[in-house]
A and B are shown apart, each in its own frame.
Chain A
Amino acid sequence: RKEVEQDPGPFNVPEGATVAFNCTYSNSASQSFFWYRQDCRKEPKLLMSVYSSGNEDGRFTAQLNRASQYISLLIRDSKLSDSATYLCVVNGGTNAGKSTFGDGTTLTVKP
């Protein structure tokens, strides 16, 4: 089993749709959590951190459930420019220097 698992996707949605991505992690000692966005053949870029209380950044909402070891990302009012691969990232735990990435979920927003 992978340390960080994500919905395999791909997700194909129309503009304006709401879409949610899920992620689970196996290491209960993990300390911090992030969502990154990666465009085709580009480097990953930080989208947002994920806090236990939940946090929102414009159309994006991230949630963390430590008890269930589950992270989510909700995108409201999808735009064409949201088309990308979304990577769930978990930091810390037994290998202190390590950030562990999921394999990503690909989103395509269509007109």
Chain B
Amino acid sequence: ETGVTQSPTHLIKTRGQQVTLRCSSQSGHNTVSWYQQALGQGPQFIFQYYREEENGRGNFPPRFSGLQFPNYSSELNVNALELDDSALYLCASSHVPAGANSPLHFGNGTRLTVT
């Protein structure tokens, strides 16, 4: 069984730039969720994708966008980076959308630093 993989592991960007983070879901999982975790806080829900459609979104501005591909892998795109976007970005896959008693399986995360 292949787990959730994320790339890259670390990234340094400059304020105003754009970034794309990638995630491959665990085999057999059709749902991908993205979270932002700042230091000392719990993960904050960005959005979830199920069957290539957005299935729920947290309190993040439109410059945070995503995609899910037919193979269930996913991308998180962030435009016009701000210093506060510096965080650990976590991708999690599940077999069905959250709310159906389906726990999340996380990747190792991408640590983004915006300078």
Q: Smallest distance from the beta carbon of B11 to chain A beta carbons, Å? A: 15
Residue total for A at the interface (Cβ-Cβ under 8 A): 25
* B99 and A32 contact, CB distance less than 8 A: yes
- Known pairs A46-B103, A104-B41. 19 more at Cβ < 8 A? A34-B103, A43-B107, A44-B90, A44-B106, A46-B104, A89-B104, A91-B99, A92-B100, A95-B56, A95-B57, A97-B47, A97-B56, A97-B99, A98-B99, A99-B45, A99-B104, A101-B43, A103-B40, A103-B42
Which residues of B line the A interface, CB within 8 A?
31, 33, 35, 40-45, 47-48, 50, 55-58, 90, 92, 97-109
* A98 and B103 contact, CB distance less than 8 A: no
Ordered by A's residue number, 11 sampled pairs between the chains whose C-beta atoms are within 8 Å are A4-B42, A44-B43, A49-B103, A92-B98, A92-B100, A96-B56, A97-B33, A98-B99, A99-B98, A101-B35, A104-B42
Say which residue of A34, A49, A87, A95 sits within 8 Å of B42 (CB atoms). Answer: A87
Q: Collect the chain B residues with CB atoms within 8 Å of residue A101's CB.
A: 35, 42-45
> Is A93 an interface position by the 8 A CB rule?
yes
Q: Collect the chain A residues with CB atoms within 8 Å of residue B102's CB.
A: 32, 91
Q: Cα distance A45–B98 when bound, in Å?
A: 16
Residue of B nearest to A51 (CB): B101
* B101 and A31 contact, CB distance less than 8 A: yes
Q: Collect the chain B residues with CB atoms within 8 Å of residue A4's CB.
A: 42
Q: Collect the chain B residues with CB atoms within 8 Å of residue A49's CB.
A: 101, 103
